[in-house]
Amino acid sequence: MAQSMPSFHTHFDSFYHRLGLERGKSAKECLDVITSLLKEHGQGGPAKEGGDPVAYYNSFIIADSQEAWVLETSDRNWAAEKITG
């Protein structure tokens, strides 16, 4: 049985970050992909199949050999800070 692609309003942490890693060639590009998807589609959805939609709030560290970013998300909102030092 073939599985369909999940909608953009399913588990953010298991979908958007994978797209960022697939599409971005650097930590910054990965961050840009994720934040573009958030801006366009938001995040959230049922925590289980058949469940009621819930809000999602996530934190990520996105890094490559040159730089690292901390990303905090809430619905379509996000904040990112480059890690220095």
| Predicted pLDDT at 62 | 94
Tokens of 70: 């901390």
Q: Where exactly are the structural domains of the chain? A: 12-83
Residue 74's pLDDT is what?
83
Position 8 scores a pLDDT of 45
Q: Which residues pair with 54 in a beta bridge?
A: 45
* pTM of the shown model: 0.73
From first to last of its 85 residues, what are the pLDDT tens digits of the chain? 454 444 544 445 568 878 898 999 999 999 999 999 888 887 766 555 666 666 667 888 999 999 999 999 887 889 999 999 7
